[in-house]
Chain A
Amino acid sequence: MHKIAEVEIQHDIMVANKKLAKRNQKIFDNAGVFAVDFLGAIGSGKTSLIEALIEKMDYKIGVIAGDVISRFDAGRIEKHDVPVVGLNTGKECHLDAHLVEHALHDLPLDDMELLFIENVGNLICPVDFDLGSHIRMVVISVSEGDDTAEKHPLIFKDADIVVINKVDIAEAVGADENKMVNDVLELNPDAIVIKSSLKTGEGLDEIIQSIQKFMDEA
């Protein structure tokens, strides 16, 4: 004879990642490292921004460069003489806390003050996966269209700093950068929103000051 039984499980699959993320943050805190997760669409300027910050910020910086299969981003960052680990996700569209934990073994955390984690270019999947970073910075550009924030609201809801990049070409691509700023603030009144151009250097000091502000508060 067989009987049917119902078994309560109530297990949140997302919790496993959240636990690992918390563990990562503990590792960062113990090493005295402030971690920033850079999110944004493909081509929005995440790698360029990280390169510019490495050159301008007076901290010992290390980088985790996430990419689906290539090492292009890691290669670009290596040229700036900072420790970098290239993380390939294979077919996955986002970094998760487990992958980041693996990368941490290959970074000299005790000799670092700042960790930049460059997520896979994507405005959707990374939203679900906390990495344990202290802040999340979302980088979008005017060339993606000035309705980007409206189309992908959740990633902005979670962001601490939002960079609207490539404002020097806003007119050429017919985008209203101020609309983008307002859209983000409507979604997330607490976010620091900065217009930038990595070509002209506009906004870079403000981005650095904002990271500094969060580091001071941490």
Chain B
Amino acid sequence: MHELSMADAIVKTAIDVAEKNDAQEITEVTIEVGKLAMLNPEQLKFMIEVLSEDTLLEKAEVVINEIPIEIKCRSCNFEGLAISDDSDHYVPIVTCPECEGRDIEITKGRECNVKTIKIEKEDEDA
């Protein structure tokens, strides 16, 4: 259950950036979660919403995008997207899509990024 601690870090990051930008409210926060991060996006979203109560983030829409898995093959030097097979959790991380070799390294898909926030602020030009 580490969704809660990750959600806490996400909420703090978003609020911190919003405050530095003189936001009155955050309307949207976009997060990217790697397909291989041990995080359940639905739980993560729920936790963020719970932790957002009474903060600048309270009314924000929480958007979670998935980062696909990328690999590097040590046999044929292929670098890029892993085999994408949602019904199989195993094949994408053990098989090179190019040469079907097994000696592959995961290069992407384990992140948890706070990507952007949309904020509402006073229009200085108005």
Partner of A13, one of B18, B103, B112: B112
Interface residue? B93 (CB, 8 A): yes
Inside 8 A of A2's CB, which chain B residues have their CB? Answer: 24, 120-123
Give which listed residue, A5, A16, A127, contacts B118 with CB less than 8 A.
Answer: A5
Q: Does A10 contact B (CB under 8 A)?
A: yes
B89/A153 in contact, CB under 8 A: yes
Q: A92-B2, A92-B5, A153-B89 are in contact. Are A6 and B116 (CB under 8 A)?
A: yes
Q: Determine whether the beta carbon of B21 is less than 8 Å from that of A128.
A: no
Q: A6-B117, A125-B1, A186-B94 are in contact. Are A13 and B123 (CB under 8 A)?
A: no
The answer to whether B117 touches A13, judged by C-beta atoms less than 8 angstroms apart, is no
Tell me whether A8 is interfacial, beta carbon within 8 Å: yes
Which A residues lie within 8 Å of B89 (CB)? 153
Which residues 78-126 of B sit at the A interface, judged by CB distance below 8 A? 89-90, 93-94, 102-103, 106, 110-123, 126
Distance to closest chain A CB from B79 (angstroms):
17
| Interface size classification for chain B | 35 or more
Contact for B114 among A5, A9, A96, A128, CB less than 8 A: A9
Q: Which residue of B lies closest to A1 (CB)?
A: B126
Which residues on the A side are within 8 Å of B39 (C-beta)? Answer: 128
- Determine whether A124 belongs to the interface, using a CB cutoff of 8 Å to chain B: yes
A142 to chain B, nearest CB (A): 20
Evaluate contact between B110 and A3: CB separation under 8 angstroms: no
- B90 vs chain A, min Cβ distance (A): 6
Q: For the complex, would chain B's binding face be called helix, strand, loop or mixed by DSSP majority?
A: mixed
A79 CB within 8 Å of chain B: no
Bound: A4/B27 CA distance, A: 8
Contact with A along B19-30 (1 / 0, CB 8 A): 001011001000
Asked if A7 contacts B120 (CB within 8 A), the reply is no
Q: Which residues of B contact A92 (CB under 8 A)?
A: 1-2, 5
Which residues does chain B contribute within 8 Å of A4, judged by CB atoms?
27, 118-120
Closest B residue, CB atoms, query A124: B38
A157 to B92, CA, bound (A): 12
A138 to chain B, nearest CB (A): 15
Indicate if the CB atoms of B116 and A8 lie closer than 8 Å: yes
By the criterion CB–CB under 8 Å, are B13 and A9 in contact?
yes
Residues in B with CB closer than 8 Å to A55 are none
A6 close to B114 (CB less than 8 A): no
Q: Which of B8-43 contact A (CB under 8 A)?
A: 9-10, 13-14, 17-18, 21, 23-24, 27, 36-39
- A residues sitting closer than 8 Å to B (CB atoms) are 1-14, 16, 91-94, 96, 124-125, 127-129, 150, 153-154, 157, 186-187, 189
List the 10 closest A-B pairs by CB distance, nearest first.
A1-B126, A3-B123, A1-B123, A13-B112, A13-B9, A9-B114, A11-B114, A128-B38, A2-B120, A12-B113
Can you give 23 contacting A-B residue pairs, CB < 8 Å?
Answer: A1-B126, A2-B122, A2-B123, A3-B122, A3-B123, A6-B116, A7-B21, A7-B116, A7-B119, A9-B17, A9-B115, A11-B13, A11-B114, A12-B113, A14-B37, A92-B2, A94-B2, A124-B38, A128-B37, A128-B38, A129-B2, A154-B93, A187-B93
